[in-house]
């Protein structure tokens, strides 16, 4: 229904979003590209609390890119089901995450911001991707091994998770997938599945590229800088949350684990704690970690500057979040708008996929 109700400006087969601009303009009056704006897709799970790794590694870049690309961002609640969840908690987390994303600067009118389970094409194409992926390929996924080791109950969904993730990306003819470094293997699998499907059934999917930020692609835990900051690890002191109060942020940086030397230099192998602080400071101030290191001779001032820069970065997000979370009807309206825009594109892809596979039209 949605597809016929909306008029598209782009190529009809690609299911371009109605707001998609036809050309990307470069710097300077004479530079422009004759190809459409890049389609960007990325997702985030509504589990745990949004932390600084999510923000610096992914969300902040999304907010900037939405103005230069045709951006689609998804709260992947179906992925969250791979580990059993309390329904009330999942509902609350989805609303909170939506509020954080909008507070961070994602504009539901500019980009497409939606919830995965409201667009049923994700599960449909997810199955087709499960039938395209090899068992051995999924078994090699590092995140599956990590999570399965820690889970009390290892669901089949946890194993096939990357096939659903591939479907998320491929449904939207995605050119670029901006993610943190931990998602690299999953995006490589999505590429492999797109190529395999195209070879078997004829050209169907755009083969996506992953885009990893130059700094803070892997923000590490402040208490154990050899492991990444994560929603699922039990390290409250090592994880800076986007909604942490300034005093809490200060305390976490003050207690950050460094090393027994007293030399500030950027050396992620030998000095992971210090390198992590420098990366965070660089990401928060648009600097370069190695150059920033030259300004410091002691760890104390580095930690204090890190905390100050992060507090300044998060302050406007927290203020806007407080307004949004008090207004659930706006969040619900944003979700409805996002689902409509996303489905307009996803339905076109699914019709094409069904046809390629020899399934009857619906």
Of 179, 99, 171, 203, nearest to 343 by C-alpha is 171
**Where does this chain touch ligand TYM (CB under 6 A) — which range of 29-37, 96-104, 148-156, 222-230?**
222-230
77 φ, ψ (degrees, to nearest 5): -70, -25
Q: Which of 228, 271, 303, 352 is catalytic?
A: 228
Given the complex with ligand TYM, which of 189 and 353 has the nearer CB atom? 189
In the complex, residue closest to ligand TYM by CB:
57
71 binds ligand TYM (CB under 6 A): no
Given the complex with ligand TYM, which of 15 and 162 has the nearer CB atom? 162
Taking the C-alpha atoms of residue 357 and residue 200, their distance in angstroms, rounded to an integer, is 9
Given the complex with ligand TYM, which of 182 and 355 has the nearer CB atom? 182
Residue selected from 180, 225, 238, 338 as contacting ligand TYM according to rule CB under 6 A = 180
Taking the C-alpha atoms of residue 320 and residue 69, their distance in angstroms, rounded to an integer, is 24
Given the complex with ligand TYM, which of 44 and 307 has the nearer CB atom? 44
Q: Which residues contact 24 (CB under 8 A, 6 or more apart)?
A: 32, 33, 35, 36, 37, 38, 68, 69
Residue selected from 36, 57, 105, 273 as contacting ligand TYM according to rule CB under 6 A = 57
342 binds ligand TYM (CB under 6 A): no
* Strand locations in the chain (E): 24-25, 32-33, 39-44, 70-75, 112-115, 176-178, 209-211
Residue 91, token pair as written in the block: 């509902």
Of 107, 93, 255, 112, nearest to 171 by C-alpha is 112
Residue 151's SS3 state is coil
Residue selected from 229, 243, 281, 353 as contacting ligand TYM according to rule CB under 6 A = 229
252 binds ligand TYM (CB under 6 A): no
Q: How far is CA 72 from CA 113, 175, 176, 277, in A?
A: 6, 11, 10, 31
- Kindly state the number of chain residues that form the binding site for ligand TYM, as judged by CB under 6 A: 26
231 catalytic, yes or no? yes
Torsion of CA 119, 318, 219, 273, to 10 degrees: -160
53 binds ligand TYM (CB under 6 A): yes
219 binds ligand TYM (CB under 6 A): yes
* Residue list 160-179, contact with ligand TYM (CB under 6 A): 165, 168-169, 177, 179
Least distance from ligand TYM to the Cβ atom of residue 221, Å: 8
Given the complex with ligand TYM, which of 41 and 253 has the nearer CB atom? 41
Least distance from ligand TYM to the Cβ atom of residue 27, Å: 27
Taking the C-alpha atoms of residue 66 and residue 104, their distance in angstroms, rounded to an integer, is 12
73 binds ligand TYM (CB under 6 A): no
Residue 343, token pair as written in the block: 């489905």
Q: How far is CA 132 from CA 76, 194, 201, 255, in A?
A: 21, 9, 11, 47
251 catalytic, yes or no? no
Least distance from ligand TYM to the Cβ atom of residue 230, Å: 6
Least distance from ligand TYM to the Cβ atom of residue 224, Å: 12
97 binds ligand TYM (CB under 6 A): no
Given the complex with ligand TYM, which of 96 and 260 has the nearer CB atom? 96
The DSSP call for residue 298 is S
Catalytic positions, written as ranges: 147, 228, 231
Interface positions with ligand TYM (CB under 6 A): 41-45, 53-54, 57-58, 76, 79, 165, 168-169, 177, 179-180, 182-183, 186, 217-219, 228-230
């Amino acid at each position: 229904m949605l597809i016929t109700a909306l008029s598209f400006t782009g190529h009809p087969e690609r299911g371009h979003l109605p707001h998609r601009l036809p050309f990307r303009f470069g710097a300077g009056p004479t530079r422009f590209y004759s190809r459409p704006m890049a389609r960007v897709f990325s997702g985030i799970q509504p589990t745990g609390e949004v932390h600084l790794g999510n923000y610096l590694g992914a969300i902040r870049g999304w907010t900037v890119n939405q103005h230069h690309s045709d951006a689609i961002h998804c709260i992947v609640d179906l992925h969250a089901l791979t580990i059993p969840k309390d329904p009330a908690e999942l509902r609350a987390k989805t609303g909170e995450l939506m509020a954080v994303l909008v507070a961070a600067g994602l504009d539901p009118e500019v980009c497409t911001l939606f919830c995965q389970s409201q667009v049923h094409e994700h599960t449909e194409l997810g199955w087709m991707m499960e039938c395209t992926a090899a068992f051995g390929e999924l078994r090699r996924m590092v995140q599956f091994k990590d999570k399965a080791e820690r889970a009390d109950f290892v669901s089949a969904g946890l194993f096939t998770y990357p096939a659903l993730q591939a479907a998320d990306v491929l449904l939207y003819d995605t050119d670029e997938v901006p993610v943190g470094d931990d998602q690299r293997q999953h995006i490589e699998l999505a590429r492999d599945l797109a190529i395999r499907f195209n070879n078997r059934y004829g050209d169907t999917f755009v083969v996506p590229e992953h885009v990893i930020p130059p700094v803070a692609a892997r923000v590490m835990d402040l208490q154990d800088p050899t492991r990444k900051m994560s929603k699922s690890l039990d390290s409250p002191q090592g994880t800076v949350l986007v909604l942490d109060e300034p005093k809490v942020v200060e305390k976490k940086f003050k207690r950050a684990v460094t090393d027994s030397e007293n030399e500030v230099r950027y050396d992620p192998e030998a000095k992971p704690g210090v390198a992590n602080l420098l990366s965070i400071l660089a990401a928060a101030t648009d600097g370069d970690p190695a150059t920033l290191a030259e300004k410091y001779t002691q760890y104390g001032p580095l930690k204090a500057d890190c905390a100050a820069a992060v507090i300044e970065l998060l302050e406007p997000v927290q203020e806007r979040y407080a307004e949004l979370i008090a207004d659930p009807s706006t969040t619900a309206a944003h979700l409805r708008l996002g689902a409509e825009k996303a489905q307009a594109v996803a339905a076109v892809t699914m019709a094409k996929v069904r046809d390629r596979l020899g399934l009857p039209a619906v």
